[in-house]
Structure 1
Amino acid sequence: MGYKLSRRQFGQLVLAGTVVSGFSYLTNKVLATTPTLNIVGIGSTSIPTDPTAIPEVKKTESYPNHPNSVTTDMNPVGLELVLRSLTTGSTQVIADNGTPLLEANEILNGFTSLKDGTLVVAITPVITSRRKAIPTRLTFLGTPVKTLTVSGLNENQQLGSLLGTNDGRLIGLVGNKNGTPPITLVDIDLQTGAISPLSQITIPKDERVRNLAECPDGNFYTSLLGRHGETSLVQLGLNQEKPIVLAQLKVDGQAWNNGLQNLVCSGTGQLLAFGCMRYRPPNAVYNIDKKSGNMTRLENFDVTQIALARG
């Protein structure tokens, strides 16, 4: 059963740690060594319409090239952001006295937690012939909730794959909205939303790079997406001369063929992936063996993006 919260109430819960306090450790034996691992997922749900209102004129809009976008058969009325617990199935609905934080035909293209525990989501409108380009915005789910417009992107670029680093920064990947390279690693100003390039970490700009994760040893990881969806795990490092391709990802001996929605690393260095094989939903959380690229399914999770909760 869901619970509706105002922005202020939800922000207070986030800072107090009670939003994620019910997230117990995963029961799967693969994660038995990480009892404090808390995985939070974010998605969306339609806001119920007033049954006494005059019906809207129906229309259909579909964006098959954007897997995180929303398809609707009526005029957009707004969507509520929803936080879900992986292990308990509990749901927290983020509302603002009826005002939606997300509109129909917008995508959730980034989600992470900062060092202080604040959750951050990146939201980008899907561009159509009837809609002008609108920059990505960041929503910080703290007290109070804060929204920043990301500056420094051109009309064809999109910010995604957010990562709250262990030293307190917010970084992300910037690429073309159609997913093609070049890809740039950027630092995001937490006060202004302005982006600036990061040169300390080298990423393959001529490749379709997706996702960012940082492990406690200081190494960063990303994934490379091939022309047919094949996905490789790549290690990045501070001032590392070039990226190290570790392995092609696979499940039960079959090559993973659909990229990843998220890549996260636990406090004990366990690398976890989130996504699904092509034409084989639902999304699920997987444990990754860094050496072999073997992925072990842990649990299905009906959300759009995941992050590790802190604090």
Structure 2
Amino acid sequence: MYLRIKRRQFGQLVIASAATNMLVNLVKNKTLAQEARSLVGVRLPASKNQQNPKISLDLENTSPAFTLVSLDLTTGGERLSTEIPASIVDNLTTKIETAKRAFSTESSRITGFTSFTDGTMVMLTVETTQKGNHSKIIFTDNKSKKPKAKKISGFKNGNHTIEGVLGTKNNKIIGIASANNGVPPFYLVMIDPKNGKVTSGDELKLPELPRNLRFSNLALSPDGKFYATILTSDGRTTLVQLDPNKTSLLTGKLLITTVAGLTYNRKYLSNDLLSLTFSPSGQLIALANLNNSPKNSVFAVDIKTGNMTLLSQVNANKIAFIP
């Protein structure tokens, strides 16, 4: 059984305030103020030395240390934070698809963050070494500090990576895979939470993705529709939708339909988002960094128009709501 994070652990310091009332007026959604307590962020430690001293720096078989934080939407403050130590994966014998890189600097980055309906938090990371890229999936909670990590395998070729992740209502995992370390082409896959194995998206009729566009930031709305962003050839970040009830007559796969171009201060976004998630009531929330700020910014997104309203700044790389 995967470890779980409970909403009360993150909401114990919630206090009603004037800022909360301002948020309600901004997003025109009275329930979002109550749901704000269930927003969780994740980030890597500032220092690479914040690792478990009992674990060797074997990036292929070790998940990185990271921090889980409960975020205040109105102020960007942290109600609660927990340091999660590095841990060894539980599928050490699994062979992964890698290829040596001529030039490479060791690095670790968070590429996806989502939750299951039971509160399980799911994070994806990619570790890059001279031996190749290593994608991992990590299940954890804030209290036990005992993450369960698995290497991800089954890619089409060596050095493919997972660059986005989404937990569905029935606790299946959809991943966005990249053939070139985070740049196109991308393709959609399913990830088995039991063994980290990548398989095709045929089970959910996932479509083929445009080969020359950046596809990222999968999010699931309460009505069961999938949303994502596409960075178009003209440099605009566009919100798109995949409706499980709409499939192509030719392929039988889900159709990708354009919703709206994302804008802030009446200008189209030229940079992609960092994260996209829905509140339980259906408010779309985005994480982005538009001006090379030291902190990332949280926005409320109007699905109909694509207009983004600034809510706060946070110290997090990815965000997700606890169901």
TM-score over 0.5 for the alignment?
yes
* Matching residue of 1:303: 316
Q: How does 1:6-21 map to 2 (within 5 A)?
A: 14-21=4-11
* Matching residue of 2:207: 202
Amino acid across the alignment from 2:79: S
Amino acid across the alignment from 1:139: I
Amino acid across the alignment from 1:216: P
Quickly say closer, same or farther: Cα 1:91–1:114, change in 2 above 3 A: same
Distance, in Å, in 2 between the alignment partners of 1:203 and 1:19 is 40
* Matching residue of 1:217: 223
Equivalent residue in structure 1 for 2:82, among 85, 93, 98: 93
Amino acid across the alignment from 1:33: T
Distance, in Å, in 2 between the alignment partners of 1:299 and 1:213 is 20
Equivalent residue in structure 2 for 1:180, among 183, 200, 205: 183
Amino acid across the alignment from 2:185: P
Distance, in Å, in 1 between the alignment partners of 2:274 and 2:124 is 13
**What is the TM-score with the length of structure 2 in the denominator?**
0.74
SS, match of residue 36 in structure 1: helix
Distance, in Å, in 1 between the alignment partners of 2:225 and 2:208 is 13
* Matching residue of 2:45: 45
Deviations 1:128-157 (A, max 9, x none): xxx211420111105652111101123231
* Matching residue of 2:262: 249
Equivalent residue in structure 1 for 2:31, among 27, 30, 33: 33
Amino acid across the alignment from 1:285: V
* Matching residue of 1:240: 247
Structure 1 consecutive aligned stretches of length 4 or more whose deviation exceeds 6 Å: none
| Contact 2:68–2:84 (CA under 8 A) maintained in structure 1 | no
SS, match of residue 244 in structure 1: strand
* Matching residue of 2:274: 261
Distance, in Å, in 2 between the alignment partners of 1:233 and 1:203 is 17
Q: How many residues align?
A: 266
Distance, in Å, in 2 between the alignment partners of 1:95 and 1:218 is 31
Q: How does 1:130-145 map to 2 (within 5 A)?
A: 131-142=130-141, 144-145=146-147
Quickly say closer, same or farther: Cα 1:240–1:288, change in 2 above 3 A: farther
Q: CA deviation at 1:43?
A: 0.7
Deviations 1:215-244 (A, max 9, x none): 111110000013464200001112533211
Quickly say closer, same or farther: Cα 1:147–1:224, change in 2 above 3 A: same
Distance, in Å, in 2 between the alignment partners of 1:271 and 1:23 is 24
Amino acid across the alignment from 2:239: L
* Matching residue of 2:66: 81
Gaps of 5+ in 1: 1-10, 51-77
Q: Percent identity?
A: 28
* Matching residue of 1:56: none
**What is the TM-score with the length of structure 1 in the denominator?**
0.76
Deviations 1:56-91 (A, max 9, x none): xxxxxxxxxxxxxxxxxxxxxx97411222215234
Amino acid across the alignment from 2:78: G
Amino acid across the alignment from 1:85: S
Quickly say closer, same or farther: Cα 1:221–1:121, change in 2 above 3 A: same
Quickly say closer, same or farther: Cα 1:268–1:240, change in 2 above 3 A: farther
